[in-house]
Copies of this chain bind each other. A is one copy, B any other.
Amino acid sequence: MRNTALLLITLFIVGKVHAQSELTLKTRTYRQQNERKLMDEFLGLLAIPNVVYDTAGIQKTAAYIADMLKRRGIEPQLLEGRTKGVPPAVYGEVRVPGATKTIVFYAHYDGQPVNPNQWADGLKPFEPALYSDALDAGGQPVAMPKAGDPINPNWRLYGRSTSDDKAGVFTILAAYDALKNMNSKPTANLKFFFEGEEEAGSTHLNEILERHKEKLKSDLWIICDGPVHQTGRKQVLFGVRGDVNMELKVYASKRPLHSGHYGNWAPNPAMMLAKLLSSMKDDDGNVLIKGFYDDVTPLTDLEKQALARIPAVDEQLRQELGFTKAEGGGKTLADLLMRPSLNINGFSSANVGKLAANVIPISATAALDLRLVLGNDAQRQVQKVIDHVKAQGYYVTQAESITDEERARYPKIARIVAKSGYNAQRTPMNLPIAQTVAKAVQSTVKGDIVLQPSLGGSLPLYLFDQILKTPTITVPIANHDNNQHAENENLRIQNLWDGLETYVALMRL
């Protein structure tokens, strides 16, 4: 095992110039001849609102993807679990005569919520728009070149899910199309599985997998989601962190109070929440919650070696992102992503800016997310936070409204509600099929690809492990500076074209 492992690592991280495969060069020519056609289908997909909580938008998006399958001669199916009325997975399959392997290609078609007010002037989340560069590099709106003219690969396409993760859906289906149009064939049976509830925590994915266990039998799931390495290199990821979201709300007076008549007598929930959040981390960003770093499964030697070979990007990133001091007391980003994390996604109390008024607010709310590594359990991790809040003197409830009795009894009251999260997953790096995938991705580029034991982000891959007993490997395509999950989400056009070459190669494993 150790030898295989070392082979895998040394195979790719040696700094030598690799040969790009014939297939890759052929795919490139095909893409150059069909850029506008490819782009039009993608733009159609992007124009459909797909916020995970928007049922109508989700249904329209699923229908568009079902049509994409049909256009490729694949019979679409909408897979549901036990629970009705939740976003279905859009599914299709291609049987290849004589194939000895079956591979499922996964992407998700739902997107994170959008707050249009936070997007840059002129940008609308569901009106995808081309820009000459990234906005913060001075990008300006550009018109789509006329059919036949090349699209500048450094341009950016702005819009919700341009990268996360309609790019994945589109690339998988475009790669299949490309193979067909190049008169080539997949070497394995292909199954396409497009989830519609990933950004809500894949709440019903377990039901779908359970119910369609037979249909979904395969040797491997390849997950198309997330960004390539910050150096711009392609990467193969053998695992993901888990994730669980929490909302923490602190209560004070029943009604908003005039800050002059009651200020510094009536408790201020914004100050209470500030103190509570402060107590959770030290100034270096280490989480102070008791036992927070317990339960962590140590990295294998192979994972440690892979980690050590990941190109250093911290300094470049700090410059790009415009800050001088990272959290973590000097540890590298790559190392920190192997730890469980606690992050404030946002907080709010009364108003700021033009709407600010001289009041003492009635409550203050923070949205938190906890990233989990192998060994962590989502509910156990949430409980550690709850216990910490209690240890700060809070009475903790899940109820929406606080009773007068509770108000009379407890000096500090917090509501904590955790969403259903999920745990981390890691596929052993020494599995033969893992090597095959890594080699296929390497065959598409001249430079080294990056092998990561785990994505910093999260996908519910533990479910494939638990329910289907099938390994997963993640092969992302988006640019790292894609503003995923936030306003001004974007995709660099070259990443779409590179992704196409990657996924064509992955269909000829």
Contact = CB atoms under 8 A, between A and B. Distances in A.
A115 interface: yes
A350 B361 contact: no
Interface in A375-418: 402, 404, 407-412
Given A265-B326, A345-B259, A358-B485, A351 B457 contact: no
A354 interface: yes
A275 interface: yes
Contacts of A314: 265
Contacts of A121: none
B351 A346 contact: yes
B346 A361 contact: yes
A236 to B, nearest CB: 16
Contact of A245 (B336, B356, B366): B356
Contacts of A321: 253-255, 257, 266
Interface in A267-281: 267-268, 270-271, 273-275, 277-278, 281
Contact of A348 (B261, B328, B348, B484): B348
A113 B252 CA distance: 22
Contacts of A357: 112-113, 345-346, 485-486
A265 B351 contact: no
Nearest to A226: B261
Contacts of A480: 261
A114 B359 CA distance: 12
Contacts of A247: 352-353, 356
A97 interface: no
A412 B402 CA distance: 38
Interface in A318-346: 319-328, 333, 336-337, 339, 341-346
B256 A483 contact: yes
A105 to B, nearest CB: 22
A262 interface: yes
A15 interface: no
A348 B270 CA distance: 10
Nearest to A410: B324
A488 interface: yes
Given A256-B486, A358-B345, A113 B263 contact: no
B347 A264 contact: no
Nearest to A269: B344
Contacts of A245: 356, 358
A349 to B, nearest CB: 5
A197 to B, nearest CB: 15
A369 interface: yes
A267 B323 contact: yes
Given A262-B456, A264-B342, A361-B345, A351 B323 contact: no
Contacts of A227: 258, 261
A313 to B, nearest CB: 11
B356 A255 contact: no
A509 interface: no
B358 A350 contact: no
22 contacts: A113-B354, A113-B356, A255-B486, A258-B457, A259-B345, A260-B458, A263-B343, A265-B285, A266-B323, A267-B325, A267-B326, A270-B347, A271-B285, A275-B278, A319-B408, A323-B411, A324-B410, A345-B352, A346-B351, A346-B356, A346-B357, A347-B352
Interface of A: 53, 112-115, 136, 226-227, 241, 243, 245, 247, 252-268, 270-271, 273-275, 277-278, 281, 283, 285, 287, 314, 319-328, 333, 336-337, 339, 341-361, 364-367, 369, 371, 402, 404, 407-412, 455-458, 480-481, 483-488
Given A255-B486, A267-B326, A352-B366, 11 more contacts: A247-B352, A252-B323, A255-B488, A258-B485, A259-B485, A261-B455, A263-B369, A266-B327, A347-B352, A351-B367, A353-B365
